[in-house]
């Protein structure tokens, strides 16, 4: 992944104990070069059986500045 242009931005152990907590212990944030690369990566993890051993939740989107996100939230 790294050789193909992916960049890991950080990892964390979920220590949130609030009522809105997600039930995943680990999280990682990656910067992926393209949507097609992300789709290829997701397909590959399924093919090799990664999801047979680990539960995974994905989310993705284009990096945007906070004012753009705020404007989108306001227009919902």
Average pLDDT, integer, range 52-76:
91
Identify the pLDDT of residue 55.
85
Residue-wise DSSP of 17-41: -STT--S-SEEEEEE-S-HHHHHHH
- Give the model confidence (pLDDT) of 6-58 as tens digits: 999 999 999 988 998 888 899 999 999 999 999 988 898 899 999 899 888 88
pTM to 2 decimal places: 0.69
- Of 28, 25, 3, 4, nearest to 15 by C-alpha is 25
Q: What residue spans define the domains of the chain?
A: 7-74
Could you tell me the two tokens for 52? 């047979």
- Of 69, 61, 64, 55, nearest to 27 by C-alpha is 55
pLDDT at position 68 over 90:
yes
From CA 36, how far away is CA 39, in angstroms rounded?
5
Identify the pLDDT of residue 1.
80
């Amino acid at each position: 992944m790294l050789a193909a242009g992916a960049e890991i931005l950080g990892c964390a152990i979920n220590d949130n104990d609030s009522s809105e907590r997600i039930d995943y212990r680990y999280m990682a944030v990656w910067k992926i070069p393209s949507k097609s690369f992300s789709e290829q990566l997701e397909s590959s993890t399924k093919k090799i059986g990664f999801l047979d051993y680990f539960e995974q939740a994905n989310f993705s989107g284009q990096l945007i500045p906070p004012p753009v996100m705020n404007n989108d939230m306001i227009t919902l």
